[in-house]
Structure 1
């Protein structure tokens, strides 16, 4: 049984470790080199009651994390969030992603004042695309050849879920 807890500063080393484990795949994140805990201190401080970050635990072990970030820094988008989900390698393919998205749905419906969640997923990340579609997200577009990772142009697919 997993549980969700709001992330605290002492969780940051494990959050960074899980994030860094995704970098070598070149399918999930934009970074090509590992990040450091120090480089993510300020990032962690930006999360709050409106745009929270949670760690996903199985017992006392952090298996992943999920964050809702400000979608765009303009007042008109204050009810929109971008979602990020990262799982430890040994947590992938075990149903955690579906549980995370169900938890997020519940938080949005009962606690958070968010009306729209946006997910950016690389075109080669088929497991994440399948997960988000299964959870009611619709692909509404793409950003072709928007980034360069390992010298290759990459396309982001845009998935959206409305809670209106």
Structure 2
């Protein structure tokens, strides 16, 4: 039997194939984060702490730490958003935090976007970043910085570039995680 004949025989004829089940649309709502969201936010973030180099944190964040961060960002009026499925599952989050602690930096923020593993690759990161930029503008912020790992985060760099972020620098070998050296790519967008 020829190879091409064998390949044709491996495919069921159309009348014997199961009809394709249409995939349910990926639906979500973006809203302000609430204290009740913090356990799910912690789980999403800690997944990346344990399994990737997109964060340089090596220790899982506790709920107490997330509560303190949430209170601090709320006090400053910084946007902190979550994406929620119709069933109430938290799919991802986005926030901005002060770039530096000195008062002169008060209009410059660093963004963070993290998606649950099942929510990646579906356009949710793009939706969260768009909303985060708009809410940051509305809060009177002027500059947004993204600090992205230089290995394993190409999709994040591409996403930011699509929103007009420009690379402003790189730092090599500034982090050490999973027994290897890592650097960062810095990108910036004016929110005028």
TM norm structure 1: 0.92
- Offset at 1:75? 1.6
Alignment partners' CA distance in 1, 2:124 and 2:144: 19
Alignment partners' CA distance in 1, 2:96 and 2:164: 17
Q: Which residue of 2 aligns with 1:19?
A: 45
- Contact between 1:26 and 1:149, CA under 8 Å: does it hold in 2? no
Q: Which residue of 2 aligns with 1:139?
A: 167
Q: Which residue of 2 aligns with 1:113?
A: 140
Alignment partners' CA distance in 2, 1:93 and 1:72: 31
Flag the structure with larger Rg.
Answer: 2
- Offset at 1:37? 1.4
Q: Which residue of 1 aligns with 2:60?
A: 34
Q: Which residue of 1 aligns with 2:149?
A: 122
Instruction: State the Cα deviation string for residues 129-149 of structure 1 (Å, max 9, x = none).
Output: 111111111111011111111
Q: Which residue of 1 aligns with 2:29?
A: 3
- Say which SS state the counterpart of residue 114 (structure 1) adopts: coil
**Aligned: 1:58 with 2:80:** no
- Say which SS state the counterpart of residue 35 (structure 1) adopts: coil
Instruction: Considering fraction of residues, name the structure with more strand.
Output: 1
Alignment partners' CA distance in 2, 1:132 and 1:10: 29
Instruction: State the Cα deviation string for residues 67-120 of structure 1 (Å, max 9, x = none).
Output: 1101111121111111000000000000001111111222234x2111100010
- Contact between 1:140 and 1:160, CA under 8 Å: does it hold in 2? yes
- Offset at 1:24? 3.5
Q: How many residues align?
A: 163
Q: Unaligned regions of 5+ residues in structure 2, if any?
A: 1-26
- Offset at 1:58? 2.3
Structure with the larger RCO, 1 or 2 (CA within 8 Å, 6+ apart): 1
Alignment partners' CA distance in 1, 2:173 and 2:132: 30
